[in-house]
Homo-oligomer: A and B are copies of this chain.
């Protein structure tokens, strides 16, 4: 039995396949009347031209891949929301790949993607440490890539990042002005672009105020809650900080849990500030001072940029867009609190 397809439609309408095909395009020089005839039958049978037949012939897919380290995370889910919003408005399909911060998975995904599967890629990097040849290969296949937030410095591509260094410098000074002298910086991966910029901002601010000489107050954490809980616990025991700067939201959450369990008063005993996309930071106990990235806007920007790269392949679009994060001061960094 024949599948429903442009061929069968053609037979039913007694026109040629091409005529049916033309009905689905804008400027295809088809008589309005025939077009309507085709489209109405198509609607009745709820027919849409085969995606794969069409893609194969036209050599484009109207599909974009989004590759991210995690998805269940306020920053990324907001960014993806922005990406999806723009792309679906332009009739692109959105393919999602989650790497779990695993560089090998990233390489795997991107390599299989590299078969005409998508017209472009939006990604946030998972691993600085590997060879990024698989990304250069995309260039050869003319598949544009746009990075957001976590970028690879060795890859030339449009990037959407935030002012991590500056804002980290400012956040550190905010803690210092609030009276902290022993500020610890919690980081998950110093090797990755953002981890590094944030750390440098912190270090330079501390050095400026002559509060440290070395990196002994930079604490390496992980993505696992239990591990972080004990790492930060040890840090409190050993370093006895009066301020904590969390480079990632997750670390602030571990810190809060620790403070509840140990009955440490924020901000009296310890002040905390964190990068965070948490909308309910003001509802925490105490309200958390945050450095908030424009997650949604970064997604919107990255998607628009990619579309531009696809539409105007000749033009050099390799620009690094820096969007501004905002520091929002709340309870957790308040200088003195009357209880």
Contacts and interface: CB of A to CB of B under 8 A. Distances in A.
Interface residues of A, number: 52
A296 B98 CA distance: 15
Contacts of A256: 280, 283
A279 interface: yes
A98 B84 contact: yes
Contacts of A88: 97-98
A112 interface: yes
Nearest to A70: B81
Interface of A: 46-53, 55-56, 61, 63, 70-74, 77-78, 80-81, 84-85, 88, 93-98, 111-112, 114-117, 134, 137, 253, 256-257, 260, 278-280, 282-287, 296
Contacts of A71: 77, 80-81, 84
B51 A53 contact: no
A94 B48 CA distance: 21
Contacts of A85: 98
Contact of A284 (B73, B84, B111, B284): B284
A27 B115 CA distance: 23
Nearest to A47: B115
A120 to B, nearest CB: 15
Given A72-B81, A88-B98, A283 B52 contact: no
15 contacts: A48-B111, A51-B115, A51-B116, A51-B117, A63-B95, A71-B77, A72-B74, A72-B80, A80-B96, A85-B98, A93-B117, A253-B279, A256-B280, A260-B282, A260-B283
A55 B117 CA distance: 11
Going nearest first, the 5 A-B pairs with the smallest beta carbon separation are A285-B285, A48-B115, A72-B81, A51-B117, A77-B77
